[in-house]
A and B are shown apart, each in its own frame.
Chain A
Amino acid sequence: MTIAVIVYPGTNCEHDIVHALSLAGADTEMVWHRDTELNGATGIVLPGGFAHGDYLRTGAIARFSPIMDAVVDLAGQGVPTLGICNGFQILTEAGLLPGGLVANRDLRFICETVHLRVESTDSVLTRAAHMGQVLSIPLNSYEGNYVADDVDRIEAEGDVILRYSDENGNVDHITSPNGSTNSIAGITNASRNVAGLMPHPERASEDILGSADGMVLLEGFVASTDLVDA
């Protein structure tokens, strides 16, 4: 029962997510992006950072790292797969999640704690949360503005799992800190085993950090990996 944490050149959140996953009871193993095997992994996490310097587009180069064939293969088999921030961008570039991420509406790097409203519990990330729950989690990104040319389909199929909101769970365009379409902060795929979000749940994993609200997401993710036969 090991969650593989993929490390690219430029990844910088791998130790944070390893620590937070251990708090949720998971065993983890860091895997270098040039490796090609993920034997026995019951879950996969693509952490935050700036893989390959974000050159060309965020995630565009990382999406072709040698490890990605194994990531795509296991995700296709239903293995729980999570992308956080840059990891989310890589998953969209790889086509494992719909849409893409572009520069923030106000063209500045956002580094602040935001509120997220749980929109669906039908995903490996949100399964332990409850509908409408409001979570306080840090957002740290320049290209976190979610766009999709088929956003109506994404909404209709229930792929949106988290939306930016205020502290009471109200959502409007003002509560979207980065201009994301429909205030979308996190989405899942049709099979519900791949999820991505721009905010960092591992940075809200202990009270000493100011919030432990990210743990309900990470605990749900770890619980979903326990169901996988490696």
Chain B
Amino acid sequence: MTYSFTISIARKAGLSDPEGTTTKKALNDLGFDGVTHVSYGRTISVDVTAATPQEARSNIEAMCEKLLANPVMETYTIEALA
């Protein structure tokens, strides 16, 4: 069975995020005064075959820990798609 996941990867809070800082400033300059924080991340879609949904998710978690995210400076969330 093939399972589909969307992985969202974000910079750890407090670490430099120049894209987010610059975009926030641009939004403020455009008059969007209510914007108080912008941060950048990545979205990765992965299809994986596994015997069970639990096995598929556990594989995805291992992929995030090993390669897809850098735990030194990033966090990640995993969303299973129906």
Contact = CB atoms under 8 A, between A and B. Distances in A.
Verify that A and B bind, or say they do not: yes
B51 interface: no
Interface string B39-75: 0000000000000000000000000000110101100
A164 to B, nearest CB: 14
A104 B17 CA distance: 9
Interface size range on A against B: 20 to 34
- Majority-rule SS of B interface residues: loop
B22 to A, nearest CB: 6
Given A56-B67, A56-B68, A64-B67, A100 B16 contact: no
Contacts of B15: 102, 147, 149
Contacts of A64: 67
Given A56-B67, A149-B12, A104 B72 contact: no
- The 8 lowest CB-CB distance pairs between A and B, nearest first, are A100-B73, A147-B15, A105-B18, A103-B18, A147-B16, A100-B72, A107-B18, A145-B16
Interface of B: 11-12, 14-19, 22, 67-68, 70, 72-73
